Amino acid sequence: MRRFKRTLVAAAVATTVMAGTAGWAVGGEQTVVTGPPAGAAAWRADHSLPDPEAAPEDIARFFAALPEASRHELASRHPLVVGNLDGAPVALRYEANRLALTTERDRERARAADRSLGAPERRRAGDLADRYTRLLGPGRQILAFDPRGRGQVAEVYGDWTAARHTAVVVPGSDIDLASFDRTHDRYGTPAGMARSLRAELARQAPGIPTAVIAWAGYTTPVGVGLDAATGRLAEAGAPRLERLLAGLSALGTAATPPAVFCHSYGSVVCGLAAHDIDGTEAADLVVLGSPGMRADSAAGLRTGARVWATRRNSADWIGRVPNVSAFGLGHGGDPTAAEFGARPVPSDGAHGHSAYFAPDTRSLRHFAEITLGRYADVR
């Protein structure tokens, strides 16, 4: 009988996730982009360089010992590696990623003009060239860029090296190079969330330097399907998130460890990364619109960071997803439940699954207070 009930629960999870939200397309299985950065083979051919998958603190020590001219020369020779190398100086990563984006933009422009290619291929090349051009806009600080697959990108808002308080935004499903900074559903994108949080930080703490990273550095699910209902993509993304945080910690630039905000499926990534995150890498893990964290309690995450759960608003469809885990489906206990043990974050004013970073919401105000370390104000 118990086995039969578990089967029913698993079927309910699959049915809800596959068909639970009107207007969402059922997504196909995604091919994971993981491992070392693109261009790693050429980097590894030079045996004087550290392995690109070495510990971020080792990468940081390597670059700290290099003369300035040698750093720039490496960024020029290996832009796709240096631009994605956790532990490398952030300003050098910006430089390398501008070079990589320029190369990719020029390549796609040439493909868009190549009449030997079919019209659909040329259109896709033109779209990619336009995306790369936007990322090359004045003042943009691209911390990571990987053109493989659907594309991955991270951007810094503010001066990371001067910031006293920092945050990292981890998005959920349907985020990639194309949707990273889309203009519709603005507060459902990592770029929109990060910009909104940074503006609220400036409002609450004028004159205090802050910075926020929008991190789309893992392969996300597309639509509502088995990828969204299982932990496969989160298991691949969690080590990448931990490396990002370890690399920032190894640089020792920010005055305090960042607060990490995990939206929707991003909270599954954060949950799986949590046990490798200590208090020097992240001060706080904050989930919002969460289907679960692959744990039954905050204590079960075994993390050195404080754990917060944003109360769902009544219009957030994620509340219709069962908080169970059976046969690999579902993501475990509800982080907003009292028995989970996370610190609650009120969200009055938010409406829908993607509105927690919208201006004039209590959730956004509290997110800024958490980032600033004003914990007593979150009530």
Query: Average pLDDT, stretch 264-284?
Result: 96
pLDDT of residue 253: 73
pLDDT in tens, 95-109: 999 999 999 999 999
Q: Which two tokens stand for residue 278?
A: 């200590």
Distance (Å, rounded) from C-alpha 39 to C-alpha 46? 12
Given a cut of 80, whether residue 368 has pLDDT beyond it is yes
How many Å from the N-terminal Cα to the C-terminal Cα in the chain?
43
pLDDT of residue 27: 60
pLDDT category, 330, cuts 50, 70, 90? confident
pLDDT of residue 28: 76
CA 140, 142, 148, 151 dihedral sign is negative
Given a cut of 80, whether residue 12 has pLDDT beyond it is no
- Which one has a higher pLDDT value, 68 or 11? 68
pLDDT of residue 320: 85
Query: Average pLDDT, stretch 180-202?
Result: 95
Given a cut of 60, whether residue 18 has pLDDT beyond it is no
Whose structure tokens read 């659907």?
150
pLDDT category, 204, cuts 50, 70, 90? very high
Chain Cα centroid distance, residue 1: 41
Given a cut of 90, whether residue 364 has pLDDT beyond it is yes
Any idea which of 114-128, 250-264, 266-280 has the lowest mean pLDDT?
250-264
- Cβ contact 197:261 at 8 Å: yes
Query: Average pLDDT, stretch 212-227?
Result: 93
Chain mean pLDDT for the chain: 92
Query: Average pLDDT, stretch 14-36?
Result: 62
pLDDT category, 322, cuts 50, 70, 90? confident
Given a cut of 90, whether residue 193 has pLDDT beyond it is yes
* Percent of the chain scoring above 70 in pLDDT: 93
Q: What letters, b where the CB count within 10 A reaches 16 and e where it falls short, cover 300-309?
A: bbebbbbbbb
pLDDT category, 200, cuts 50, 70, 90? very high
pLDDT in tens, 224-267: 789 999 999 999 999 999 999 999 999 987 778 999 999 999 99
3-state SS string for the chain = CHHHHHHHHHHHHHHHHHHCCCCCCCCCCCCCCCCCCCCHHHHHHCCCCCCCCCCHHHHHHHHHHCCHHHHHHHHHHCHHHHCCCECECHHHHHHHHHHHHHHHHHHHHHHHCCCCCCHHHHHHHHHHHHHHHHHCCCCCEEEEEECCCCCEEEEEEECCCCCCEEEEEECCCCCCCCCCCCCCCHHHCHHHHHHHHHHHHHHHCCCCCEEEEEEECCCCCCCCCHHHHCCHHHHHHHHHHHHHHHHHHHHCCCCCCCEEEEECCHHHHHHHHHHHCCCCCCCEEEEECCCCCCECCCHHHCCCCEEEEECCCCCCHHHHCCCCCECCECCECCCCCHHHCCEEECCCCCCCCCCCCCCCCHHHHHHHHHHCCCHHHCC
Query: Average pLDDT, stretch 178-202?
Result: 95
pLDDT of residue 14: 47
With 0-12 / 13-18 / 19 or more C-beta atoms within 10 angstroms meaning exposed / middle / buried, residue 367 is buried
pLDDT of residue 5: 42
Q: What letters, b where the CB count within 10 A reaches 16 and e where it falls short, cover 260-287?
A: bbbbbbbbbbbbbbbebbeeebbbbbbb
Given a cut of 50, whether residue 24 has pLDDT beyond it is no
pLDDT of residue 328: 79
Strand partners, 326: 329
pLDDT of residue 25: 42
Distance (Å, rounded) from C-alpha 187 to C-alpha 357? 6
pLDDT of residue 37: 93
253 phi and psi angles, rounded to 5 deg: -90, -50
Any idea which of 13-17, 116-120, 135-139 has the lowest mean pLDDT?
13-17
Distance (Å, rounded) from C-alpha 47 to C-alpha 20? 52
* Percent of the chain scoring above 90 in pLDDT: 84
Q: Which two tokens stand for residue 55?
A: 């510990």
pLDDT of residue 101: 98
